[in-house]
């Protein structure tokens, strides 16, 4: 189970993020304990109000718990993980919240603790919490029999194409797949030993080397998106400059964007727009299926919750009826019958709770399998669309080289026509 954590403030913003249903298909508030309020936003307000009596600014500790996407993980496993985290980090007894999110066929949890000790009005220290969480994460993989990622066993085996949130959002704005972009730049880096060779390799793939405003060497896409070379290849800026040379000798980002606009974009923008339109139309029925599946799953869970609530009330009434009152109740206490009935009621209530949780887990697991099957179709379509757009970028670079190298013939006095340009096959 991958554990990512941070000390933070912004209780209201965090609460709204945890309740966000635009990005998450299902949101379940699993636990709010240690607070006067029993709802998430109320608990967040309490945590913030308590922090005002201290000098602590980062009064919350937020942890995301991400199990393997292929595993069906019970709620008890998440609860145990949270218990171990708070025990190892000295947060035992602190108020906490646990929220489950489901997105793209994957279920994960967010746990948030208040760091403020109400008795001493001081913040719980969390020294080296990342190292502690890393050790706990490895234990959870071994304890649950999950396949541990290669990068967990040895950091040298970590997938170099893993990307950050900023990289994902940047590539998403450009309608590119972040893994494709990062892998493309790393491929160019591996086959190039100097600046000109690297620039040429990038251009063959539709990217252009330029001087960044603050980050040294950058790659610019045909639509003007900027990608820092050092971040993409996992090297320091000095190491990148040592291989590629002084970035000051390159065009600036603004000049590069202007060059793309003058030499490449007008010829390919129509094809790129058409490719995106085709991808959008192809994705539309899948998105409709996803929404219909989301609504159906939510209805099934609501129906199960209602039936379990009705059964719980019925069973609770039956247990209450066993406890006699008045003189009979006094006699039951004197003879010990009352204590036997109470024990029986407690056992039945416990097993009833476990039964209800098992039923809900089975329902969620079945729904996740159905959602994962649909997600595989979505991923395949996304990857195919991303390859098509990247192919168009390569076409743009090829067209630029043809014009630059003089591989054209004049068609009339005013117009230049390339020799046999290769049109993109948008129907594939």
Where along the chain do its domains lie?
2-157, 165-263, 269-404
167-176 long-range contacts, CB within 8 A, separation 24+: 167/227, 167/231, 167/232, 170/225, 170/227, 171/225, 171/227, 173/225, 174/221, 174/223, 174/225, 175/276, 175/389, 176/221, 176/225, 176/386, 176/389, 176/390
In total, the chain counts a number of residues equal to 428
Token pair for 356: 């209800």
Judged against a pLDDT cut of 70, whether residue 166 lies above it is answered with no
* pTM of the model as a whole: 0.61
Judged against a pLDDT cut of 80, whether residue 413 lies above it is answered with no
* Average pLDDT of the residues of the chain: 82
Looking at domain 2-157, its CATH architecture is: 2-Layer Sandwich (3.30)
Rounded Cα–Cα distance for residues 243 and 216 (Å): 12
Rounded Cα–Cα distance for residues 124 and 1 (Å): 25
pLDDT for 417 equals: 36
Within a 10 A sphere around the Cβ of 410, how many other Cβ atoms?
A: 9
8 Å CB contact between 236 and 184: no
- DSSP label at residue 405: T
Judged against a pLDDT cut of 90, whether residue 277 lies above it is answered with no
Least Cα distance to 46 among 24, 15, 69 occurs for 15
**Confidence band (pLDDT; 50, 70, 90) for 72?**
confident
Q: What's the chain's Rg over C-alpha atoms?
A: 29
Tens of pLDDT, residues 175-215: 566 777 888 888 889 888 888 899 888 888 878 899 887 66
């Amino acid at each position: 189970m991958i554990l990512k954590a941070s000390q933070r403030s912004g209780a209201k913003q965090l609460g709204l993020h945890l309740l966000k249903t635009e990005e998450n298909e299902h949101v379940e508030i699993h636990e709010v304990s240690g607070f006067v309020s029993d709802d998430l936003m109320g608990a967040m307000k309490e945590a913030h109000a308590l922090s005002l009596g201290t000098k602590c600014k980062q009064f919350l500790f937020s942890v995301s718990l991400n199990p393997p996407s292929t595993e069906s993980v019970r709620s008890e496993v998440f609860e145990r993980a949270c218990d171990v985290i708070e025990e190892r980090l000295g947060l035992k007894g602190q108020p906490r919240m646990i929220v489950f999110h489901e997105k793209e066929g994957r279920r994960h949890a967010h746990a948030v603790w208040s760091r403020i000790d109400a008795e001493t009005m001081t913040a719980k220290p969390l020294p080296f919490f990342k190292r502690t969480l890393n050790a706990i994460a490895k234990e959870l993989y071994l304890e649950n029999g999950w396949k541990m990622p290669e990068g967990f066993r040895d950091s040298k085996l970590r997938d170099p194409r893993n990307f950050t949130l900023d990289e994902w959002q940047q590539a998403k704005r450009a309608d590119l797949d972040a893994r494709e972009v990062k892998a493309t730049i790393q491929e160019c880096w591996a086959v190039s030993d100097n600046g000109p060779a690297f620039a040429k390799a990038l251009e063959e793939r539709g990217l252009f080397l330029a001087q960044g405003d603050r980050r040294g060497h950058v790659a610019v896409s045909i639509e003007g998106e900027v990608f820092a070379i050092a971040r993409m290849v996992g090297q320091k800026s000095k190491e990148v400059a040592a291989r590629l040379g002084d970035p000051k000798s390159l065009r600036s980002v603004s000049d590069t964007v202007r060059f793309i606009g003058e030499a490449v974009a007008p010829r390919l923008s129509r094809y790129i727009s058409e490719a995106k339109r085709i991808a959008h139309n192809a994705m539309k029925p899948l998105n409709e299926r996803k929404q219909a599946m989301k609504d159906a799953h939510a209805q099934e869970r609501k129906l199960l919750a209602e039936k379990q609530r009705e059964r719980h009330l019925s069973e609770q009434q039956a247990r209450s009826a066993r406890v006699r009152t008045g003189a009979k109740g006094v006699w039951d206490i004197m003879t010990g019958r009352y204590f036997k009935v109470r024990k029986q009621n407690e056992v039945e209530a416990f097993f009833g709770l476990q039964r209800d949780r098992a039923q809900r887990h089975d329902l969620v697991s079945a729904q996740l399998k159905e959602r994962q099957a649909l997600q595989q179709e979505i991923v395949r379509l996304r990857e195919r669309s991303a390859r098509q757009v990247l192919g168009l970028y390569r076409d743009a670079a090829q067209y630029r080289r043809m014009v630059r190298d003089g591989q054209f013939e004049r068609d009339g006095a005013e117009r230049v026509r390339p020799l046999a340009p290769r049109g993109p096959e948008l129907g594939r």
